[in-house]
Amino acid sequence: MFDITAPDGKKYHESASMKPGDAVVTYECEGVTVGCSICYDLRFPALFQALSAKGAQMIALPAAFTLQTGKDHWETLIRARAIENEVYFCASAQTGQHMQGNEPRSTWGHSMLVDPWGHVTARASDGVGYTAGRVDPERVAKVRAMIPVASHRVAFS
C-alpha cells in the first residue's frame, strides 16, 4: 500500500481505506492475456515477473502517480517493466489536480502504451485526453524468442 510522505510533505495512507490484493491475476481479452496491477505496484518487479510467468502478454496498470514522483519515475519504471518481462505495458493515468478530503492532490498523468522492446508506441499529452495503440501478441512472442529472459531467470534466496 502507498503509505508515504511525499517530497512535498503530503502524507498518503492508502492502508487506512483500502486493502492490498492477495492474488496474481490475469484474464483473456481478444486473444491477449492481460495481467492486472495498479499504481504503486509499478515499484515491485516481482509482481510483474509473476504475471509474466502466468502468461501475461500485456500488463494493465491504472494509476494516480503523484506529480513529484511521476515526473521522474513514471516512464522509466513502465519501460523497465515492459522490457524486463517482454510484455506490452498499458498504463492509464489520472492527470491534474483533485481533492483528497480537504487536501488538494496533483497527479502526473501521461498515460502510455509501451511495447515489449521498451518503445513507447502511444502517449497521452499533458492534460485530459486519450491515446490508442495496437497490441500484437506475435510481437511478444518474437521479442521473447530473441532474448528468452523468462527461461534465464534464476531464483535468489
Q: Which pLDDT value is given to residue 155?
A: 80
DSSP code per residue over 10-68:
-EEEGGGT-----S--EEEETTEEEEE--GGGGG-HHHHHHHHHTT-SEEEEEE--BHH
Give the mean pLDDT of 14-25: 95
The H or E element that residue 99 is part of is: strand 95-100
**Residue 5 in 3-state DSSP?**
strand
Task: For 95-125, write each residue's pLDDT tens digit.
Answer: 999 888 898 899 999 999 999 999 999 999 8
**Residue 148 in 3-state DSSP?**
coil
Q: Which three cell numbers stand for residue 145?
A: 524468442
> How many whole angstroms separate alpha carbon 52 and alpha carbon 35?
8
CATH domain 25-152 topology: Nitrilase/N-carbamoyl-D-aminoacid amidohydrolase (3.60.110)
Q: Which pLDDT value is given to residue 100?
A: 85
Q: Report pTM.
A: 0.93
Give the mean pLDDT of 122-147: 94
Q: Which pLDDT value is given to residue 74?
A: 97
Give the mean pLDDT of 142-146: 98
Q: Please, which pLDDT band fits residue 82 given cuts at 50, 70 and 90?
A: very high
Q: What residue ranges do the domains of the chain occupy? A: 25-152
* Backbone dihedral angles phi then psi of residue 148, each to the nearest 5 degrees: -80, 65
Q: Please, which pLDDT band fits residue 92 given cuts at 50, 70 and 90?
A: very high
Q: Which three cell numbers stand for residue 71?
A: 515526473
Give the mean pLDDT of 5-32: 92
Q: Please, which pLDDT band fits residue 68 given cuts at 50, 70 and 90?
A: confident
**Following CA atoms 84, 45, 21, 95 in sequence, which dihedral angle do they give, to the nearest 10 degrees?**
-80
Q: Which pLDDT value is given to residue 101?
A: 85
**Residue 119 in 3-state DSSP?**
coil
